[in-house]
Amino acid sequence: MHALFLVLALVAPQQQYQETITVSRVLVDLRVTGYDGEPVTGLTPEDLTVKIGGKPATVESLDWIDDTDLPPAVEELDDMASLAAPRRHRGRLFIVFIQTDFARNNFRVVGQMSFTRYAEEFIDSLEPEDRVAVFSFDSHLKFRRDFSNDKEDLKQVIRDAIRIDVPPPPPVVPSPSLAARLDHDKMKKAATSETGLALIANALTSIDGPKSLLLLGWGLGRYSRGGVWMIPEWKAARAALDNARVSIFSLDTAWADFHDLEFGMQTASKETGGFYAKTFHFPKQAIARLQRTLSGHYEMSLRVPAQLKPGTYKLDVRVKRRGIEVLAPANVIAE
């Protein structure tokens, strides 16, 4: 009896003070394409070199998602285990953000009008399960359409965005929906596109999965001190976009070879894992690249380096191949 008590006394402290090691992981939406936007498929974790905060990170999984090859709808599944799994919208989610110039500068208005038919071609190319929400920005943010797959209606809404008007409330739609997640008073007070983007991103946060925001417009940032700088509101917008898994694809509709504020659009796309393209000379090429790029993506699970504390860190993703482009968010949040 005394021997048994002695053994228990020796073992108990060891069990009580065992160390627990918590491993932090992050999920990253990654697109790898040729320079024409054609997706590069078949990659494995061994094809990537990834750093978080300048330190090597382990790629635990790399899953290719063909966004145009949809799984069966829930009502078509017989497997009860599949029915018990978390439900996620089957199609892609797009947000069209249209900058309509309140000052009616000619090169901005003409560019917007000229690109409208190409935007309509993009809408026509979408899959039946894809959903599109439409916003415009002139003096403030305007909510023109909640997530919808009614292509004819969406094309008309994009045409109407040229107006400096007060659009009626969008029709009610089933989930996913943005209407209840938007603060309309804050939308009226949103004096910059960057503030508008932050409001949209915050509304998207609770909707699962990646989203693509198509910025059709003429610029972000502000020209001052001999250059273009991202305004303070962009920092909050970028954090909200990252949190909601939103990538910005900037299609510059300005009727010009070059303009100062294109730098802001380039920055926003680069930092959120999208791309920037001019539409002045080659609008069809821009739309074709967009269609190819958005046809699929990788979901990459990363193990955060153990020495990093919770916080926001720079993400660096490289693929061990030539002639490709890697689109990934510039930052990740380690928890």
The beta strand positions in 182-289, using DSSP E, are: 211-217, 222-224, 227-229, 246-252, 276-278
Distances, alpha carbon 165 to alpha carbons 30, 196, 252, 266, in Å: 38, 17, 23, 29
In a domain, 260, yes or no: yes
Q: Are 187 and 284 members of one domain?
A: yes
Inform me whether the pLDDT recorded for 218 exceeds 50: yes
pLDDT for the residue 79: 44
How does the average pLDDT of the chain come out, rounded?
90
- Pair (44, 168) in one structural domain: no
Q: How does pLDDT run across 88-128, given as a tens digit for each residue?
A: 567 999 999 999 999 999 999 999 999 999 999 999 999 99
Report the alpha-carbon distance of residue 99 to residue 118 in Å, rounded.
Answer: 16
Q: Which of 218, 227, 260, 222 is nearest to 106 (CA)?
A: 218
Same-domain status, 201 and 322: no
For the CA atoms of 180, 185, 191, 196, the dihedral, rounded to the nearest 10 degrees, stands at -10
Q: What percent of the chain has pLDDT over 90?
A: 84
Is 226 part of any domain? yes
The H or E element spanning position 151 is helix 151-160
Residues 288 and 170 in one domain: yes
Residues 130 and 202 in one domain: yes
Q: Please check whether residue 12 lies inside any domain of the structure.
A: no
Domain check: are 219 and 172 in the same one?
Answer: yes
Structural domain total, the chain: 2
Please check whether residue 85 lies inside any domain of the structure.
no
Within 10 Å of residue 321's Cβ, how many Cβ atoms?
11
In a domain, 106, yes or no: yes
Based on the domain organization, do 327 and 196 belong to the same domain?
no
- Number of residues that make up the chain: 335
CATH number, position 142: 3.40.50.410
Pair (29, 98) in one structural domain:
no
Domain span holding position 185: 93-294
| 150 in the same domain as 45 | no
Q: In terms of domains, do 205 and 316 share one? A: no
Contacts of 74 (CB under 8 A, 6+ apart): 83, 87
Same domain, 47 and 148: no
Residue 222 within a domain: yes
In which element (H, E) is residue 185 found?
helix 184-189
What pLDDT is stored for residue 23 in this prediction?
A: 66
Residue 326 lies in a domain: yes
pTM confidence score? 0.89
334 lies in some domain: yes
Confidence of residue 226 (pLDDT cuts 50, 70, 90): confident
Question: Quick check: 197 pLDDT over 50?
Answer: yes
Does 323 lie in the same domain as 287? no
pLDDT band at 224 (very low <50, low <70, confident <90, very high): confident
DSSP state of 163: S
Distances (CA, A) of 311 to 44, 65, 74, 289: 27, 28, 37, 34
